[in-house]
């Protein structure tokens, strides 16, 4: 695994595991007293998953972006080309303010999560979740969202201002 990929993998894994545990515990505590939670309608998990996705991505972006800008080496060296997926979908964001980047990533994540949930719940014929299923699925899903969104956040944060197509992550050694 290259230095870039290793760095991003570790950052994404840390973010994903942390958010998975926090969201799972919060879901368990906030669903106390409920045996089953409906997927749609009042108190449904569909809206809860979408709202949590939006809030998670927005806050995560606003926290991780400045941290990664500080962690990136002061003088970036050309090492490896930026991934094509990043260039196609995220490279235009690097010149925006953090709040705008957070809003755009939130919009992307919200749409993708809505599509995923609209396909997954009917496909698996899920109409309600037990408290345990809800807590576990929310924890796992939000952990995955956190892992997936950390990757473009890091690349956006460290993209060189001079427009070079390559960067090194981590230490300068």
Q: What is the dihedral of CA 157, 158, 163, 167, to 10 degrees?
A: -150
**How large a percentage of the chain has pLDDT more than 70?**
86
Whether residue 171 has pLDDT greater than 50: no
In-domain check, residue 167? no
In-domain check, residue 19? yes
Q: What is the dihedral of CA 159, 82, 63, 22, to 10 degrees?
A: -170
In-domain check, residue 171? no
Domain count, the chain: 1
Domain that holds residue 115: 3-73+80-158
Mean pLDDT throughout 135-163? 87
In this prediction the pTM is 0.87
Return the pLDDT at 102.
98
Q: Find tokens 């230490």 and name the residue.
A: 171
In-domain check, residue 93? yes
In-domain check, residue 172? no
């Amino acid at each position: 695994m290259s230095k870039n990929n290793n760095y991003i993998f570790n950052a994404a894994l840390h973010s994903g595991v942390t958010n998975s545990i926090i969201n799972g515990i919060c879901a368990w505590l906030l669903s106390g007293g409920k045996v089953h939670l409906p997927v749609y309608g009042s108190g449904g998990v569909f809206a809860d998953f979408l709202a949590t996705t939006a809030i998670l991505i927005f806050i995560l972006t606003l926290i991780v972006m400045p941290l990664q800008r500080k962690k990136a080496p002061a003088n970036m060296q050309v090492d490896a080309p930026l991934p094509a997926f990043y260039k196609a979908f995220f490279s235009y964001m690097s010149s925006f303010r953090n709040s705008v980047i957070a809003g755009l990533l939130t919009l992307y994540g919200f749409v993708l999560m809505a599509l995923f949930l609209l396909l997954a719940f009917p496909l698996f014929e899920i109409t309600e979740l037990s408290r345990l299923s809800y807590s576990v699925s929310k924890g796992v899903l939000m952990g995955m969202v956190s892992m997936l969104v950390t990757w473009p956040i890091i690349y956006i944060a460290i993209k060189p201002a001079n427009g070079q197509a390559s960067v090194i992550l981590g230490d300068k050694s």
